[in-house]
Structure formats: C-alpha cells, structure tokens
Chains A and B, each alone.
Chain A
Amino acid sequence: MDVVWEHREAIALAFAYTVLLFVFAGVGSLIGGTLLTAMRVGPIKVLRWAAAIYVTLVRNTPLLIVIFFFRLAAPKMDLRFDFVDVVLPTTVGDVRINNIFAACTVGLTVYTAAFVCEALRSGVNAVPLGQAEAARAIGMPFAGVMRYVVLPQAFRASIPPLANVQIALLKNTTVAGALGVSEAFIRMRGLLNDNPTARISLFIAFAAIFVVLVEVLSFVANRLERRVRVA
C-alpha cells in the first residue's frame, strides 16, 4: 500500500479527470436523452423516426467505436474540438481539458444519451395515458404536456434505470484512457507498469475508489427516489 500512498496525488488527479468526464457527460446525456425521449413520444413523425434511428445506431455500437469516431472521424467532417483548451489548477496538479477530453466527453454523452432515452421512455410508458389526455384537455400544447405533466412523473418512475445508466457511464469513462485522457484507468496502467511488485494493492485501491464513487451515486439516487415518491 506504500506505493498507493506515494502516488496519492497522481491518483487523485486521475480521478479528477474521471469525475469531470462523468459530470459533463452525465449532465449532457440527461439533457440529450430527455430531448430524444420527447422526440420519440412526440407527435411529429420525422422526429420520432430520427430519435429511433439515433437510439438504434448508437446503442448498438460499442462505446469505443463511438468515442474513436469523435476523435478520428469527426475532424474529417470538420467537427473539431480544438477550441477547447482549459487548464483547471487543483492542489494535486493541473487538469487539462483539451480537444481530446472534449471528444471523449462528446462521445460519452452521445452514447449515454441513447440509454437515458430508453430508460426515460420506459418511465414515460409507465405514466398513464389519462395524465397526458387531461393535460391536453386543459389546452396544453405538446411541450407543456411533456414538461409539466408527463416528464416529471416519468423521471420518478425512471430513477432506478437512470441510476444504472449513470453508473455505467461512470465506469465507461475509463474508455477515454484509450484516447490519451489521463483518467483513472490510464494512471492505473502506468502505475502497474512502474511498480510490478505492488500490482495487487494498486488494483484494490483503484477498484475501491470506483466502488466508493458508485456508492455515492447509488446513495444520491436512493435519496432522490425516496424524496419524489409522493403519489
């Protein structure tokens, strides 16, 4: 465990990347997934189709391919993230948010949004049709029906599956390491190579930190579920 303690700052920095990737992609995927859900259950056929195709395409593609797409193929379509270059100084070192970090965040967002959409859609299906009818009957347009009546109830019903999706996202951030973001997985690999004798304790340390992070997420989800469980 000495090795772990010795490198605590590097490990903390690595998890700062992990958590930032998760927060950006988490928020992005919740927003994107909500819009996709609205499109999928909405009255406009073209949008319904577009959202269905998006989900089919993205959900059925390995995450690594989606992320590599944004890093390697998207620039060929003039979709670049070179404008992103921010350095966040922390006590354990600088977190550098550059074009690679941005490509990974976008890839994770795009990928996770498809799963958020499906989780939320199951929630929408759990809201009785009469709720939407009653909202329409008092003259709400589709956007209002979704925003004030259907989605709030759908979110409640989807908290457990949404928590699963976000937990998967937290662990999926390790894929960003493959593109060179120095997040937890890459740091762990580096430390494993440099300290072959301390491999077991390094594995245990990284796994334990992930367990703690996911537990924090589950705790928040449970609290949220209990708080909104009214009717």
Chain B
Amino acid sequence: MTVHRGAEAAPTNGAGQALVRLAGVQKHYGNLHVLKDIDLDVARGEVVVVIGPSGAGKSTLCRAINRLETIDEGEILLDGEPLPAEGKGLARLRADVGMVFQSFNLFAHKTVLENVTLGPIKVRKKSKAEAETRAKELLERVGVAHQAAKYPAQLSGGQQQRVAIARALAMDPKVMLFDEPTSALDPEMIKEVLDVMVDLAERGMTMIVVTHEMGFARTAANRVVFMADGAIVESADPETFFTNPESDRAKDFLGKILKH
C-alpha cells in the first residue's frame, strides 16, 4: 500500500525551505547526553517517522520541537522562525504545532467537544459557534462524533487518542508531532488510530511521528529516521531503510523487531 498525497501537499511557499529545522541540537540530562548534535530538516507535507530503541532520545526530540523540553545548544526553526525561549511568542508558535501524546492527555474535566474547542476559543479567539462547528467536523472525521458530550474517562483509549488528534487539528497546525501515539493502546485500538494518521498523511499534513509501528512507517512515511543513543544514525526512505539498512545498529534493531 502506498500513500497518495493530496494536492495540498505540494511544497509551494518558502521554496525549498524546511518547515521544521533542527540544527546542531544538543541536550543533556546531567551526565546523560540525550540529544547528540541533531540535524533534521522536515519539508512541508513530509511525513517523517522516527524509530529506534528505548532511550534513544526519540521522544525528547519530538518534545523539543515545541519546547516541552528545552535544549542546551543548537537551534530549532519553525517555518524559518526560531523557537522563542518562553512567553507569548512561544505560546503563539506552539499553537501552530499540533502534539499528540502517548498518554492522550485529554482535559479530564472537559467533555470531548470542549476538549476540541478550548484551544480555538481561548487561543485562536474563534467564536464558540464557529469552534463547535469545526470541532464536530473533526470529530466526525476521526470517527468519534457521537461521543462529543462524554468525558474522556468514559471513552476507550483508541477513542481518546482520536479525540486528541482532533483537538490538535482544531488549531489548524502547520505540523503535527506524534509522540508514540499508539504505545498505550490495546492492539485492536491501534489500527483505528493509525487509520486516522494515514488519512492525515494522505491529506498532506506535515508529520513527525515517533512510533514502534513499522507497518505505519512503511505505509505512510516519506522518510524514516533511525535514532540510537541520542543520535540520528540513519535517515532514508522506508523501502531502503527496511530492506537495506546501512548501519550495523539499524540492522541489529530491525533484526530484533522484525523477527516476530
């Protein structure tokens, strides 16, 4: 199966300029060097899947892109703009970056609909009616429209994660970050979430996805980035990466996970 990218995927503006650019990014946790000299460019409309063993720094990388993690050195550019350190500027930039967490993190005290409309109303200053119309569209799209009045705790994990995707999409983000979006799900719920993500990729959304779902990487990714021990070891299109990995580290990793 291949993904047919929509017309909106065409990299029109910013001629050749990366939508997300990480240059020389370093991060330490005490003595642990969690991000080692990371250089990564993600083009508009590109779907980049980040894989690698646990503790490789994949999640940290993902979280650094909207500064949920700070970095020690290097720079991160979003649409050509450097990430501000804090304050209003950072908040404004974060609004343009959708984030989907491993543990969903839906607002527990708000209904599904309120979860999706909160950002558009409070951050984008949309009217309640406008936000709700859009939210219902998005909930329809991810297949949980009939749950709109429920609270997150009343939903299954897969449903919660799809709501989380709708919540991120409601901000009309330029790029979506997925931090192991299916790792906390039962096997049968993984598919419903991946289907939504594949649909998103087909519509031309720029996506950076940290995942262990190799099937998704093969299906939807334009590029696979393999990380180990805080560094990017290899970066290739999925076909090349899965059939003919260059590094021993990647061969070892694939050998372990693809055997079963």
Residues in A lying within 8 Å of B, measured CB to CB: 43, 128, 130-131, 133-141, 144, 148-149, 152-153, 156, 228, 230-231
Bound state CA distance, A140 and B107, in angstroms? 13
Residues in B whose Cβ lies below 8 Å from that of A128: 105
A–B Cβ pairs within 8 angstroms, 30 of them? A128-B105, A130-B104, A131-B107, A133-B101, A133-B105, A134-B101, A134-B105, A134-B106, A134-B164, A135-B107, A136-B68, A137-B94, A137-B98, A138-B123, A138-B171, A139-B95, A139-B96, A139-B171, A140-B91, A140-B119, A140-B122, A141-B87, A144-B122, A144-B123, A148-B122, A149-B109, A230-B151, A231-B108, A231-B151, A231-B153
B152 near A231 with CB under 8 A, answer yes
A138 near B119 with CB under 8 A, answer yes
Most chain-A Cβ atoms within 10 A of its Cβ — which of B94, B97, B104, B106?
Answer: B94
Chain A proximity of B55: nearest CB distance (Å): 20
Taking A148-B122, A231-B152, A231-B153 as contacts, is the C-beta distance between A137 and B68 under 8 angstroms? yes
Bound state CA distance, A135 and B106, in angstroms? 9
Known: A131-B108, A133-B68, A230-B151. 12 other contacts (CB 8 A): A131-B107, A134-B107, A135-B107, A136-B68, A136-B91, A138-B99, A138-B118, A139-B91, A139-B96, A139-B123, A153-B108, A230-B109
B108 near A138 with CB under 8 A, answer no
Residues in A whose Cβ lies below 8 Å from that of B106: 134
A138 near B105 with CB under 8 A, answer no
Q: Which residues of B (144-162) have their CB < 8 Å from a CB of A?
A: 151-153
Bound state CA distance, A231 and B109, in angstroms? 6
Per-residue CB proximity of B81-92 to A under 8 Å, as 1/0? 000001110011
